[in-house]
């Protein structure tokens, strides 16, 4: 399928701003006649379809924010939503949520549906499949139509837009350092496969902490779980084969599975080994022992993402994009599993 | 504020069907001229505003389902959403979710926003505040505009529409009976305050099970938790004061708090007392001991609600409403807390 020419491409070609192109296509008198006609002629030549939705959006505000997230079963995403809702309500915005179910096709379909006049802007976290494919045309199109997009947590460098992230590498580094500070030397990393951006960064942080402390990196201590159903077996093997003294798990489900598997084979946490989990959720708080976690600060992430979006929606149209990436600080919540 | 006259009221007044009123107001030639003019005159007299949105909805399908739920932090609602998504995807529908945050005002606002052309029909569970106020005018209005509404879990008898529920009373009865079958006699009920419909029904089931087994009902064994923060203190008092041998908790948070509080004062579950929780969630599965639960079968509930809505959307317009209430079966998942 031939890719349609976008506002951005026209702008680049003619060396004017996107806003100038957009206004010219709306025949705005703010733009000098020569530029206006040139843009219009160019757009016609390339068969550019002035998107009525995008044009109407410039004028009609819905006061609604669209959220696209992979899923809601994980506590982290629920918390981010709560954070977005808080700020949205404060500023009189409504919130609509759609799930991509980690599917590229559903992410595209839901974005197109919402961009169709229901909302003013997006806050989104990429689906696994989208990250794997590296196809972000649906996001580019929405942005080119003049609709702001804020990405959080699972983001990509391929798209220029505002982003809210945590420093996954540093957060992992700190967690592993805290284990080393407690005298742990044989620290296993229980992680997912690498195609989600954050997984890679957390592994980097783990590795760096070991190296900075002159602890040899051992590939056998990195356990990749592809399917939660096989998690217990794989962890059981880890605990039986290697005399590890700590586990750093990239999510709390892996962490609690470590603890329960340990119990089954006669090991106890934290006596036999310590456990830290990434993402502070409901399991860590209520498991026995309670689990020390890296808090991703989902509420603050949601607050910030909503504020960035509303700022973009309510500030006067700017000629130049000026995107920022906000890094939300994480912190360690010390509980029983590392005592 | 004077209540606007609805399609339903006009229909009742003139003794014709809602569909006839609706078609007459659209000036459909399907309706005889006399009736048509009478309806139009009546509507004009009562200052009925033909809702353009509703009219356009009759013709324009969005192939989108709107969900309104109180919150998503609880695993039950996430599961219902997954169930709705499954069926919706199968039939080519998209899904939009809005949260009421248990607020009446947000529920009304979100329903009005979505009814405004974004969706074809609603699947909803009432907010606590709506149940407390007993004000359902926003739902009546949507239904009168010809938009189908399916209610699940937190429903009301005040609204005639399709509903998907579990038999909360019977499910509670069965759970308590299973404790009695294990020889338990002093069974505490840890519940919420009564204004949510399901809470009342579960208490009724608890009481009936005791009476049917000639166990005296003891008001002191019914613990009502208004605020989760005070949960531990109240449960601590229960465990220290009364020599109970089982707890039936209306949610898994109360159940896990019972177990953790017991541990703190030197009691062990299930040795010292058994625990059953309503709602099978992620905490019950991963707590130590794992918790026996009544599964509310959220996935099936979601499947059924979506199927009912899509049937209503895709079947030919019927003259008479013919609403059904589907009762989804629950089942007990036996785990360590009752062994």
Q: Closest Cα of chain B to A248: distance in Å?
A: 18
| Mean pLDDT confidence for B211-215 | 97
- Per-residue confidence (pLDDT) for residue B164, from 0 to 100: 97
Q: Which of B286, B289, B302, B336 to mutate to test binding with chain A, by most A CBs within 10 Å of its CB?
A: B286
DSSP secondary structure string for all residues of B150-201: EEESS--TTS-SEEEEE-HHHHHHHHHHHHHHTT---EEEEEE-TTSHHHHH
d(CA B43, CA B7): 9
Q: Which of A53, A72, A74 to mutate to test binding with chain B, by most B CBs within 10 Å of its CB?
A: A72
The chain-wide mean pLDDT, for chain B, equals 88
Report residue A47's pLDDT band, with 50, 70 and 90 as the boundaries: low
The ipTM, to two decimals, is 0.78
Please indicate if any CB of chain B lies within 8 Å of the CB of A102: no
Report residue A55's pLDDT band, with 50, 70 and 90 as the boundaries: very low
The chain-wide mean pLDDT, for chain A, equals 88
Q: Closest Cα of chain A to B110: distance in Å?
A: 7
C-alpha dihedral, B53 to B56 to B58 to B59, nearest 10°:
-160
CA A105 to chain centre: 18
CB within 8 Å: B287 and A282: no
Q: Which of A83, A282, A293, A335 to mutate to test binding with chain B, by most B CBs within 10 Å of its CB?
A: A282
CB within 8 Å: A98 and B94: yes
Considering the entire predicted model, what is its pTM? 0.79
Task: Write phi, then psi, for A277 (nearest 5 degrees).
Answer: -115, 145
pLDDT tens readout for residues B183-209: 999 999 999 876 666 788 899 999 999
CB within 8 Å: A72 and B78: yes
Q: Which member of A81, A118, A287 has the closest CB to residue B72?
A: A81
d(CA B332, CA B295): 6
CB within 8 Å: A81 and B94: no
pLDDT tens readout for residues B90-109: 999 999 999 999 999 999 99
What is the biggest distance separating any 2 CA atoms in chain B, rounded to whole angstroms? Answer: 81
Closest Cα in chain A to B72? A78
Closest CA to B65 of B92, B103, B33: B92
Q: Can you list the domains of chain B with their CATH numbers?
A: 7-49 (no CATH), 64-165+298-328 (3.40.50.2300), 168-296+333-338 (3.40.50.2300)
Closest CA to B81 of A211, A99, A175, A163: A99
pLDDT tens readout for residues B54-63: 444 455 688 9
DSSP secondary structure string for all residues of B53-66: HHHHHHH----EEE
Residues of chain B neighbouring A118 (CB-CB closer than 8 A): 96, 118
- Flag the least confident range among A5-9, A16-20, A252-256, B82-86: A5-9
Tell me the helices (H) and strands (E) count for chain B, helix number first.
14, 12
CB within 8 Å: A113 and B64: yes
């Amino acid at each position: 399928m031939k890719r349609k020419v976008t506002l951005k491409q026209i702008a680049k070609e003619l060396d004017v701003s996107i806003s100038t192109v957009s206004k010219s296509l709306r025949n705005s008198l703010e733009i000098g006649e020569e530029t206006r006609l040139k843009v219009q002629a160019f757009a016609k030549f390339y068969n550019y379809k002035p998107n009525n939705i995008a044009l109407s959006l410039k004028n009609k505000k819905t006061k609604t924010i669209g959220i696209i997230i992979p899923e809601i079963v994980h506590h982290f995403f629920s918390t981010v939503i709560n954070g977005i809702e808080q700020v949205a309500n404060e500023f009189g915005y409504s919130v609509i949520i759609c799930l991509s179910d980690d599917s590229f096709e559903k992410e595209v379909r839901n974005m197109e549906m919402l961009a169709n006049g229901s909302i003013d802007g997006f806050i989104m976290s990429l689906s696994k499949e989208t990250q794997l494919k590296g196809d972000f045309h649906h996001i580019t199109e929405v942005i080119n139509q003049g609709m702001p997009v804020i990405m959080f947590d699972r983001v990509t460098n391929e798209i220029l837009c505002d982003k809210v992230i945590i420093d996954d590498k540093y957060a992992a580094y700190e967690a592993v350092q805290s284990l080393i500070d407690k005298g742990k030397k044989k620290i296993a990393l229980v992680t997912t496969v690498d195609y989600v951006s954050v997984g890679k960064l957390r592994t980097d942080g783990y590795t760096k902490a070991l190296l900075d402390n002159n602890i040899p990196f051992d590939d056998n201590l990195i356990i990749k779980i592809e399917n939660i159903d096989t998690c217990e077996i794989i962890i059981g093997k880890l605990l039986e084969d290697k005399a590890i003294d700590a586990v750093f798990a990239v999510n709390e489900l892996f962490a609690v599975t470590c603890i329960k598997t340990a119990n089954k084979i006669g090991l106890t946490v934290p006596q036999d080994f310590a456990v830290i989990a990434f993402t502070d959720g409901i399991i860590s708080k209520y498991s026995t022992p309670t689990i020390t976690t890296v808090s991703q600060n989902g509420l603050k992430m949601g607050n910030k993402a909503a504020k960035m979006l509303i700022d973009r929606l309510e500030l006067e149209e700017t000629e130049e994009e000026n995107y920022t990436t906000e890094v939300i600080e994480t912190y360690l919540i010390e509980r029983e599993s590392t005592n």
